[in-house]
Structure 1
Amino acid sequence: MLQTLSIKQFAIIDELEVHFGDGLTVLSGETGAGKSIIIDAIGQLIGMRASSNYVRHGEKKAVIEGIFDIDESKEAMSILEALDIDIDEDFLLVKREIFSTGKSLCRVNNQIVTLQDLRKIMQELLDIHGQHETQTLLKQKYHLQLLDNYAEDTYSNLLNDYVSTYDQYNAKRKELQDLESADQALLQRLDLLKFQYEELQEAKLVEGEVKQLESDIKRIQNSENLSLALNNAHLTLTDEHAITDRLYELSNQLQAISHILPEKYDTLKEEVDQFYYTLEDAKHQLYDELTNTEFDEQYLNELESRMNLLNDLKRKYGKDINELIVYQTKLDDEINKIENYEESTSQLRKEIDDLYDKVMQLGTKLSKERRTVAQKLRNHIVEEIQNLQMKDANLEISFKPLEKPNREGIEFVEFLISPNKGEPLKSLNKIASGGELSRIMLALKTIFVKTRGQTAILFDEVDSGVSGQAAQKMAEKMKDLATYIQVICISHLPQVATMSDHHLYISKNSKDDRTTTHVQELSGDDRVDEIARMISGASVTELSRQNAKEMIEQNQQT
């Protein structure tokens, strides 16, 4: 839930801090006081598009900060962990800076994140529903997603199997299309592939060969210096003053001493003997190396030619030798595929047909499961709508076969509604009445917000066009929803305001030729006066105040 909102230099807001509680919070105030600006500021925290117009005139940047309690959102926690964002005691600090240049910067717990990542996090925490919203709930393309969300885990494994099979089917179709569309081009490509393959095959590439060549070339190029050093080292171990001879004599003397003092000199004699044998091995190794070291100009030329060939291949293909060996294998596979074009396409077509049959089988099972859940959802939605003073409303979830399956299934799913008795079922976005649309949207939000697991929802004048008993029912519905998640609502309806747990009054003042917005939490007589204003308009009478008191008492008891 949103706990604190801090706004600086945003539109007409100079500096403002608002604290939100749980339950139902209502924001009210005169038109133009800045209620929508506060909604726009919260919108920046969930990743809505920024604009330099949001920066207060004459300032360099606007800053919006929000503190969210994420203790109850496992989904948000998972996303934060995946993004490697530190989580401090289940609180999340979200900051958005908007510059007068039009650029913006997003931070989550003081770590810079992309706008896309910000949206990914915040969609699990806060949902903003505007008065004229047409996305998600109104558009048909989202209806199947809403149905699947409502189903939760009822058919999740079946849906995963369907998607996986469809992806395989689609990949094979693309592979076949690529082969068929590139028929002539493939033949031309075949010549190039064969040339490259034969060139690499002729080179007889060996993994790690370059390193060995470098060592051998270096050895031959430095054979004179190497021979001299080897000879001097060998003489050190073989001349009349050879250290091995002296060590042999030392070993004999230590043996004589160890007979008298074994506890002190046995170990020393063993160490000297070990050193002696090590030097003897070195002497033979140096001799073998010395006899094999000579300058061979022809062999050096061969090595350098080989090295030049490998370097040319590396430059030509832009790969090292190990990568060229792998590339050679790929070339062989692609050559075989092209040369066996008819066989390859025939096999692909069979695989595609088999996968299509499997897609349709899984899609049919999935459709059956969806229809069962759709009936439950339909009954749930109708119940919610009828509770909002639309007693004759009806809704159906329509399933129509697609011409060909897609990644979502084999059918076209759409929510159709008849708001009044005798009216035909029609798409949600064809509803003309603003009041009916508001109530339908609230009913749908009530259902889908609970299934999505979000912790807060913000309604921006969702009760527009509603009055009387319908307004009372909407207020009760928002209050009910607020028992599950935090609800923040901009409203002009006194029925909603009297149901609230917190009532924030938005006003604006002018000072030094600048307009600023203020927020005040109302209680007692101040709250009564504001609700009286909402009932009667600009002038507050004693009668309207009495009416406001009665509404507050009645709705609080309810």
Structure 2
Amino acid sequence: MLQTLSIKQFAIIDELEIQFGDGLTVLSGETGAGKSIIIDAIGQLIGMRASSDYVRHGEKKAVIEGIFDIDNSQEAIAVLHDLAIDTTEDFLLVKREIFSSGKSMCRINNQIVTLQDLRRVMQELLDIHGQHETQTLLKQKYHLQLLDHYAEDQYKSLIDDYTQTFKAYKAKKKELHDLESADQALLQRLDLLKFQNDELLEANLVEGETEQLEMDIKRIQNSENLNLALNNAHMTLTDEHAITDRLYEFSHQLQTINDILPNKYDSLKENVDQIYYTLEDAKHQIYDELSNTEFDEQYLNELESRMNLLNNLKRKYGKDISELIRYQTTIENEINKIENYEESTSQLREEIQSLYQQVLSKGKALSQERRAVAQTLRDHIVAEIQNLQMKDANLEISFKPLDEPNIEGIEFVEFLISPNKGEPLKSLNKIASGGELSRIMLALKSIFVKSRGQTAILFDEVDSGVSGQAAQKMAEKMREIAQHIQVICISHLPQVATMSDHHLLISKVAHEDRTTSKVTELTDDKRIDEVARMISGANVTEITRQNAKEMIEQNR
């Protein structure tokens, strides 16, 4: 949940700090007082697009900070762990700085993060629902998302299986289309591939050859120094003062001592003998090496020519020798495919047909599961919207076969509604008024709020276009949602305000030719006065104050 919101130099707000509690918090105030600005500020914390217009006139930057309790959000904690952000505390500090240049910077627990990562974290904590969001109900794609979300993991394996099969089907279709639509291009590519293949075949590439060439070239180029060093080493082991002869003599003397003093120098003699035999082996190796150290200019030229060829191939293809060897196999396969065009296309058509039948089969199984869940969801939504003063409303979830399967399935899913008795079911965008859409969206929020895992939801005038009994029912529904997660609501409805656990008044004040917004928590008489204003408008009378008092007591 959102515990504290701090706003500095944001729009008309100079400096503001708001403490939020759990349950239902209502923000009210006159039009233009700054309620929407507070929503915009919170929107910056969840990753909405920044603008230099948000920076208060004359200032260099705006700063918005929020402290969130994450103790009950395992989903958010999992994302934070994935981003390597410290979660040892039960709270999260989120900060957004917006500069007058239009750029912005995001921090989570003082660690700089990208805007995308900020959104990943915050979508698990806070959901902002405004009037415009009701328009998503008019989009058919949103309906299928709602249905699948309602099912939770009931048929997730079917979705994954279908999606994987459909992607394979589309990939094969693209492969066939590419073959069929590029005959001339294929012939040109075939010439290029054959040239490259011949060139690489002629090069007779060998894994690790470059390293061996470098070693051999270095050996020949340094043959004089190498020969001198080998001769000196060999002389050390073979001249009249050879170390091996001295060691042999030393070993013989140790044996004589051991004969007189048994076992005393056994270990030393073993070590001396080991060194002697090691040097004897080295003497033979060095002698053999001496026979290979002659400078051979012709052989050096051959090695350098080979190295130049390999280096030219590496530069030409932008690959090392290992990659060139693999690339050669790849182009051989492609040459074979192009040369066997008819056979390739025929085989592709068979594979496509097989995959298409799998798509239909798996799509049918998925649709059966969706239809079963859709009936439960339909009953749930109808019960909720009828509870929101749409007693004669009916809703059905329609399934219509698609002409061609898509990534989501083989059927078109749409919510159809009849708001009044006797009216036919129609698409939401053809029948639902603004107030009806608001109530339907609120009904959906109440259904999905428990499964989303979020800890806070913010309603921005979602009750617009609603009054009377419907307004009271919407207030009760918000109160019901607030039993599960924190609810923050901007509202003009007295029914909603009187149902709240906390009531905050947003107002504008002028000081030294500047206007800013301030927030006041309302209790007792001040709360009654504000509810009375919401009931009657500017003219608050004793009667409206009494009505407000009664409404507060009744809803409490």
TM-score (norm 2): 0.97
The answer for the alignment partner of 1:116 in structure 2 is: 116
Contact kept? 1:137, 1:444, Cα under 8 Å: no
Shift of 1:432: 5.4
Contact kept? 2:134, 2:441, Cα under 8 Å: no
Residue 137 of structure 1: SS of its match in structure 2? helix
Is it true that 1:446 corresponds to 2:438 in the alignment? no
Is it true that 1:25 corresponds to 2:25 in the alignment? yes
Residue 255 of structure 2: SS of its match in structure 1? helix
Shift of 1:450: 2.8
The answer for the alignment partner of 1:498 in structure 2 is: 498
Shift of 1:531: 1.6
The answer for the alignment partner of 2:148 in structure 1 is: 148
Is it true that 1:331 corresponds to 2:336 in the alignment? no
The answer for the alignment partner of 2:344 in structure 1 is: 344
The answer for the alignment partner of 1:200 in structure 2 is: 200
Is it true that 1:392 corresponds to 2:359 in the alignment? no
Shift of 1:85: 2.5
Is it true that 1:252 corresponds to 2:252 in the alignment? yes
Give me the whole-angstrom Cα distance separating, in 1, the residues matched to 2:550 and 2:357. Answer: 66
Output the amino acid matched with 1:532.
A
Shift of 1:78: 2.3
Shift of 1:506: 1.0
The answer for the alignment partner of 2:357 in structure 1 is: 357
Between 1:111-120 and 1:9-18, the stretch displaced more is 111-120
Contact kept? 2:419, 2:432, Cα under 8 Å: no
Between 1:314-323 and 1:193-202, the stretch displaced more is 314-323
Contact kept? 1:506, 1:518, Cα under 8 Å: yes
Matches for 1:453-468 after TM superposition, within 5 Å: 453-468=453-468
Structure 2: runs of 5+ lacking an equivalent: none
Give me the whole-angstrom Cα distance separating, in 2, the residues matched to 1:492 and 1:90. Answer: 34
The answer for the alignment partner of 2:158 in structure 1 is: 158
Is it true that 1:521 corresponds to 2:527 in the alignment? no
Give me the whole-angstrom Cα distance separating, in 2, the residues matched to 1:330 and 1:522. Answer: 74
Superposed CA offset, 1:103-151 (max 9, x none): 1112222222222222222222211111232453332121101100001
Shift of 1:262: 4.9
Give me the whole-angstrom Cα distance separating, in 2, the residues matched to 1:93 and 1:275. Answer: 69
Given the superposition, is the C-alpha separation of residues 432 and 413 from structure 1 closer, same or farther in structure 2, using an over 3 Å criterion? closer
Shift of 1:322: 1.1
Given the superposition, is the C-alpha separation of residues 138 and 83 from structure 1 closer, same or farther in structure 2, using an over 3 Å criterion? farther
Residue 136 of structure 2: SS of its match in structure 1? coil
Contact kept? 1:431, 1:437, Cα under 8 Å: no
Residue 159 of structure 2: SS of its match in structure 1? helix
Give me the whole-angstrom Cα distance separating, in 2, the residues matched to 1:489 and 1:348. Answer: 57
Given the superposition, is the C-alpha separation of residues 260 and 89 from structure 1 closer, same or farther in structure 2, using an over 3 Å criterion? farther
Shift of 1:260: 4.4
Shift of 1:537: 2.1
Output the amino acid matched with 1:84.
A
The answer for the alignment partner of 1:534 in structure 2 is: 534
Contact kept? 2:55, 2:99, Cα under 8 Å: yes
Superposed CA offset, 1:127-184 (max 9, x none): 1111232453332121101100001122111111111111111111111111111222
Shift of 1:466: 1.5
Given the superposition, is the C-alpha separation of residues 483 and 257 from structure 1 closer, same or farther in structure 2, using an over 3 Å criterion? same
Give me the whole-angstrom Cα distance separating, in 1, the residues matched to 2:81 and 2:174. Answer: 36
Give me the whole-angstrom Cα distance separating, in 1, the residues matched to 2:404 and 2:152. Answer: 26
Give me the whole-angstrom Cα distance separating, in 2, the residues matched to 1:238 and 1:545. Answer: 119
Give me the whole-angstrom Cα distance separating, in 2, the residues matched to 1:134 and 1:195. Answer: 61
Output the amino acid matched with 2:21.
G
Output the amino acid matched with 1:452.
R
Is it true that 1:425 corresponds to 2:425 in the alignment? yes
The answer for the alignment partner of 2:139 in structure 1 is: 139
What is the number of equivalent residue pairs in this alignment?
556
Residue 136 of structure 1: SS of its match in structure 2? helix
Given the superposition, is the C-alpha separation of residues 261 and 8 from structure 1 closer, same or farther in structure 2, using an over 3 Å criterion? farther
The answer for the alignment partner of 2:68 in structure 1 is: 68
Shift of 1:535: 2.0
Output the amino acid matched with 1:113.
V
Give me the whole-angstrom Cα distance separating, in 2, the residues matched to 1:501 and 1:356. Answer: 56
Matches for 1:13-92 after TM superposition, within 5 Å: 13-92=13-92
The answer for the alignment partner of 1:223 in structure 2 is: 223
Shift of 1:72: 2.2
Give me the whole-angstrom Cα distance separating, in 2, the residues matched to 1:298 and 1:432. Answer: 91
Alignment RMSD: 1.5
Give me the whole-angstrom Cα distance separating, in 2, the residues matched to 1:551 and 1:262. Answer: 114
Output the amino acid matched with 2:191.
D
The answer for the alignment partner of 2:473 in structure 1 is: 473
Given the superposition, is the C-alpha separation of residues 489 and 206 from structure 1 closer, same or farther in structure 2, using an over 3 Å criterion? same
Between 1:492-501 and 1:429-438, the stretch displaced more is 429-438
Shift of 1:202: 0.8
Give me the whole-angstrom Cα distance separating, in 1, the residues matched to 2:411 and 2:462. Answer: 32
Given the superposition, is the C-alpha separation of residues 72 and 262 from structure 1 closer, same or farther in structure 2, using an over 3 Å criterion? farther
Is it true that 1:213 corresponds to 2:213 in the alignment? yes
Give me the whole-angstrom Cα distance separating, in 2, the residues matched to 1:430 and 1:263. Answer: 109
Residue 132 of structure 1: SS of its match in structure 2? helix
Matches for 1:249-288 after TM superposition, within 5 Å: 249-262=249-262, 264-288=264-288
The answer for the alignment partner of 2:298 in structure 1 is: 298
Shift of 1:431: 4.2
Residue 68 of structure 2: SS of its match in structure 1? strand
Residue 79 of structure 1: SS of its match in structure 2? helix
Give me the whole-angstrom Cα distance separating, in 2, the residues matched to 1:346 and 1:92. Answer: 59
Is it true that 1:547 corresponds to 2:547 in the alignment? yes
Output the amino acid matched with 2:199.
E
Give me the whole-angstrom Cα distance separating, in 2, the residues matched to 1:159 and 1:302. Answer: 61
Superposed CA offset, 1:269-290 (max 9, x none): 2211111111111111111111
Give me the whole-angstrom Cα distance separating, in 1, the residues matched to 2:292 and 2:394. Answer: 98
Give me the whole-angstrom Cα distance separating, in 2, the residues matched to 1:552 and 1:90. Answer: 34
Between 1:475-484 and 1:222-231, the stretch displaced more is 222-231
TM-score (norm 1): 0.97
Given the superposition, is the C-alpha separation of residues 375 and 256 from structure 1 closer, same or farther in structure 2, using an over 3 Å criterion? same
